[in-house]
Amino acid sequence: MTRRKLDDVDRAIVNLLSQDARVSNRQIAAELGVTEGTVRTRVRRMEEEKQIRITAVTNIDRFRDASLAYIWIEVERSHQVGEIASRLAEIPELGFVGEMLGRSDLLAITMVRNNEHLAEFVHGHISSIPGVRRTESTLGVNFVKHDYRMARIVD
């Protein structure tokens, strides 16, 4: 679980890449006063060690489904948490799945169009999973911030 922490050079590179990851190694090298080889090696290592992920983020598709919904899930028996979490992680509509301590056993986050869509999604995809005891959903009305530069990188 423990991941190597980024050093100062790593952080400087990531700082540039987090604004625009299409910038070339040569430009990064020039900006930071290091060699192009250093940049290439560092970026590759950070990607391989899953410290960073360089990816396209889009502003469309998902936003046709405009509200974020937090779905808190309580399981019948505590030993079922891991198994249910794995089932949830397979649902494409869920953007976040975590095993939690406090409030409830699991948190799943998705995008929905409205309350009706949320109810339909929860009943259709979540309540039907064996071992799910109850769910409590909260619908977002105003998405004030999401810093896409930060995430738990998992496969």
Partner 1 sequence: MNTAAPDIYPPLDDVDQRIISLLREDGRMPFRALAKELGLTESTIRARVRRLEESNTMRVVAVTDIEAAGYNLLLAVGVQVENRTPESVARELAAIPEVFSVNVVVGTHDIEALVVAPDQAGLHALLNERLATLPGVRRLTPALAVNVLKNQPDWVPL
Query: Which residues in the 12-51 window bind partner 1 by CB under 8 A?
Result: 14, 17-22, 43, 46, 49-51
CB 118 within 8 A of CB 139: yes
CB 97 within 8 A of CB 89: yes
| CA–CA dist 55, 155 (Å, integer) | 14
Residues numbered 118 to 147 that lie near partner 1 (CB under 8 A) are: 136-147
- CA nearest neighbour of 9 among 75, 120, 17: 17
| CA–CA dist 4, 150 (Å, integer) | 16
Residues numbered 87 to 106 that lie near partner 1 (CB under 8 A) are: 88-89, 94-104
Question: Does the footprint of partner 1 cover residue 67 (CB under 8 A)?
Answer: yes
Nearest approach, Cβ of residue 124 and partner 1 (Å): 19
Question: Does the footprint of partner 1 cover residue 53 (CB under 8 A)?
Answer: yes
How many residues bind partner 1 (CB under 8 A)? The answer is 71
Question: Does the footprint of partner 1 cover residue 78 (CB under 8 A)?
Answer: no
Region near partner 1 per CB under 8 A, out of 10-18, 29-37, 124-132: 10-18
Which residue, 19 or 128, is less far from partner 1 as judged by CB?
19
Q: At what angle do helices 8-17 and 25-32 cross, to 10 degrees?
A: 130
Question: Does the footprint of partner 1 cover residue 8 (CB under 8 A)?
Answer: no
- CA nearest neighbour of 112 among 132, 126, 131: 126
